Structure 1
């Protein structure tokens, strides 16, 4: 898949499998979720303002997403203990997954160069990838905004925006 831009995933290709540790100490393996649509969203850091807004938006839309057959997974480079604190503090009931070595972030095109306030740095590119029940990428969005992203995602998926 060398023709995808900057390592980013494109619709129709197989989503790279992974096994990561969740905030509650369990492990989540993507391929074990086959049969469901899975929203995998990548965010820079737990408990920061933008990431909290985005996580709470997913939390608040979780029932509607689940009713339409979608599961939600959040992935960041944060350690499990910080993710556990984040989940507890904000009542997040979907798995928050720890990717401290960036392997999954890199494989999914969500790690790389980004520009903020005129400065270029390397880190998490806020991204969302939807995986269909067969394990194929249905939708891949990169450089998304924290605020309003979940409503836009629901519209893009043809779900009623709440």
Structure 2
């Protein structure tokens, strides 16, 4: 009998994870539609997961508050708890959209190198660094060092 209970808990856990992923994907899809620009799926799914987790905690708290099971916490009528839940849902969605916009503005999609390039791209980075050093040394050798350092601040225009 204990094995059946354990199996039921495992199946329930798997179902909960699948539901959370589905809910996060749905939230991420809606957020991508609202933002209106192409955003990366990993960051969108991450925002969706955070939104889903916060929503789950909010529903749980407000359910306890509406049914009188919140010992020492908020206790309201069920109708008020439902209105607070609707308000909280709007705020959670708005904050999720805002977080995705801030993340997208700080790190636009495609600007951050993938994990593979961190491990396997060192040769290209080293070649690029050598080339930049070579270009700068040629510029300094031909008298353009002051232009590189401060773009000629304080220098006369006729030079």
TM range (shorter): under 0.3
User: When you count helix as a share of all residues, which structure comes out higher?
Assistant: 2
TM-score, structure 1 normalization: 0.22
User: When you count strand as a share of all residues, which structure comes out higher?
Assistant: 1
Structure scoring higher RCO (CA < 8 A, sep ≥ 6) equals 1
The structure with more radius of gyration: 2
TM-score, structure 2 normalization: 0.22
